């Protein structure tokens, strides 16, 4: 470690340039990943809400409503259908307005409509389901949330595409900068490297100090970036709680595992730090390896 710090002090400006480049790349990458996770979490939350809701007229009988429910379930296009009777709606109303006695006195179960809450298997099924419900006898109103889902899907797709393009550009630029700086640092030790090669040193032995320094700077940059990002999150966390009030959790579906992104947890925070550190050390090591490999190949020829 002492030798590593000495080598960094011998080339302070080059080391600062490497650190700055890594810092910018890692900070923006962490920000993009965090925002995408939240967008996917919000998309999953919206899709988990009733996507189509049909309210029935007061005179519509329960058997007629259950018949509609059975037909929807047999269609194969719905994930689930939830029936809410007048009494269920009244119980929910009382729970939501338990602190307002005046509102409770004004409403009875008889004036609240029965309803069906439908969850489609695919967003593409929503228009067809809504069209069918609009023709149902006894329907009062059909609440169709397709626009909300479609807008969030479009936003997520655009952000994902733009983020990927920006990320690839940023990573490519960082690799080029790191390779250029490493070439310069290696050139400063040209005579020392030539002497080592004459003494029989392998390419791996010559490359090792440059790799160690690059990986170390990647680790330091990752830790600094994560610390600053965590501090920013700590400051805006109360505002996020207010904005997301009423949403118990947001998660990203990873197949057999669901990654909870809200509320923020130690598991999620630790996972972000590990991935960020591995990425920072990896990109620094990758650029340094190919820069030294190219230099040593040219020197050998």
Note the pLDDT of residue 23.
92
Whose tokens are 């100090």? That residue is 209
Is 207 in contact with 289 (CB distance < 8 Å)?
yes
The domain containing residue 232 runs over which residues? Answer: 2-47+166-300
Residues 62 and 114 grouped into a single domain: yes
Q: Looking at the structure, tell me whether residues 25 and 68 fall in a common domain.
A: no
Q: Do 33 and 170 belong to one domain?
A: yes
Q: Residue 230's pLDDT band (boundaries 50, 70, 90)?
A: very high
- Residues 179 and 295 placed together within one structural domain of the fold: yes
Same domain (yes/no): 194, 283 = yes
Strand ranges inside the chain, DSSP E = 52-56, 78-84, 115-120, 139-144, 250-254, 257-262
Whether residues 43 and 170 fall in one domain: yes
Q: How confident is the model at residue 193 (pLDDT cuts 50, 70, 90)?
A: low
Question: How many CA atoms, within 13 angstroms, populate the side-chain half-sphere of residue 22?
Answer: 35
Q: What is the Cα Rg of the chain in Å? A: 30
Answer whether residue 64 is part of any domain: yes
Q: Is the pLDDT of residue 211 over 90?
A: no
In a domain, 154, yes or no: no
Q: Same domain for 292 and 179?
A: yes
Decide if pLDDT at 228 tops 60.
Answer: yes
Are the C-beta atoms of residues 81 and 65 closer than 8 Å to each other? no
Number of domains in the chain: 2
Query: What is the distance between the alpha carbons of residues 186 and 210, in angstroms, rounded to a whole number?
Result: 8
Q: Of 20-24, 35-39, 148-152, 228-232, which gets the smallest average pLDDT? A: 148-152
User: For 18-44, what is each residue's pLDDT tens digit?
Assistant: 888 889 989 988 988 888 888 878 777
Identify whether residues 129 and 247 lie together within a single domain: no
Confirm whether 160 is domain-assigned.
no
Identify whether 156 is part of a domain: no
In a domain, 243, yes or no: yes
Give me the percent of the chain exceeding a pLDDT of 90.
10
Q: Rounded CA gap, 281 and 39, in Å?
A: 27
Evaluate whether residue 155 is within a structural domain: no
φ, ψ at 200 (rounded to 5°): 95, 10
Pairing of strands 52-56, 115-120: antiparallel
Residue 249: inside a domain, yes or no?
yes
Residue 153 lies in a domain: no
Find out whether 133 and 143 touch, Cβ atoms under 8 Å.
no
Tens of pLDDT, residue by residue over 52-92, are 888 888 888 888 888 889 988 888 888 888 888 877 877 87
Task: Quote the pLDDT of residue 146.
Answer: 63
Please indicate, yes or no, whether residues 200 and 290 belong to a single structural domain of this protein.
yes
Residues 16, 215 contacting (CB under 8 angstroms): no
Residues 60 and 37 in one domain: no
> What's the whole-model pTM score?
0.67
Same domain, residue pair 35 and 58:
no
Whether 130 and 274 share a structural domain: no
User: How far apart are alpha carbons 182 and 212 in whole angstroms?
Assistant: 12
């Amino acid at each position: 470690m002492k030798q590593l710090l000495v080598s960094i002090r011998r080339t302070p400006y080059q080391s600062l340039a490497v650190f700055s480049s890594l810092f910018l790349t890692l900070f923006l990458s962490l920000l993009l990943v965090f925002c995408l996770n939240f967008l996917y979490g919000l998309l999953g939350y919206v899709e988990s809400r009733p996507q189509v809701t049909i309210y029935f007229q007061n005179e519509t009988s329960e058997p007629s409503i259950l018949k509609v429910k059975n037909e929807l379930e047999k269609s194969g296009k719905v994930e689930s259908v939830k029936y809410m009777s007048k009494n269920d709606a009244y119980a929910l109303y009382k729970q939501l307005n338990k602190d307002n006695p005046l509102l409770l006195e004004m409403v009875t179960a008889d004036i609240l409509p029965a309803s069906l809450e439908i969850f489609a298997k695919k967003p593409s099924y929503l228009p067809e389901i809504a069209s069918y419900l609009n023709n149902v006898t006894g329907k009062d109103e059909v609440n169709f949330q397709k626009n909300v889902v479609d807008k969030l899907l479009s936003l997520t797709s655009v952000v994902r595409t733009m983020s990927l393009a920006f990320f690839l550009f940023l990573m490519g630029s960082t690799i080029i900068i790191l390779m250029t700086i490493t070439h310069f640092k290696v050139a400063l030790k040209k005579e020392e490297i030539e002497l080592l090669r004459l003494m029989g040193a392998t390419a791996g032995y010559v490359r090792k100090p440059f790799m160690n320094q690059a990986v170390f700077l990647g680790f330091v940059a990752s830790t600094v970036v994560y610390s600053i990002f965590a501090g920013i999150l700590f400051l805006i966390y109360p505002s996020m709680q207010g904005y997301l009030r009423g949403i118990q959790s947001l998660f990203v579906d990873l197949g057999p595992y669901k990654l909870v992104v809200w509320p923020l947890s130690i598991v999620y925070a630790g996972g972000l730090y590990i991935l960020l550190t591995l990425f920072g050390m990896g990109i620094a090591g990758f650029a340094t390896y190919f820069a030294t490999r190219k230099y040593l190949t040219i020197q050998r020829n």
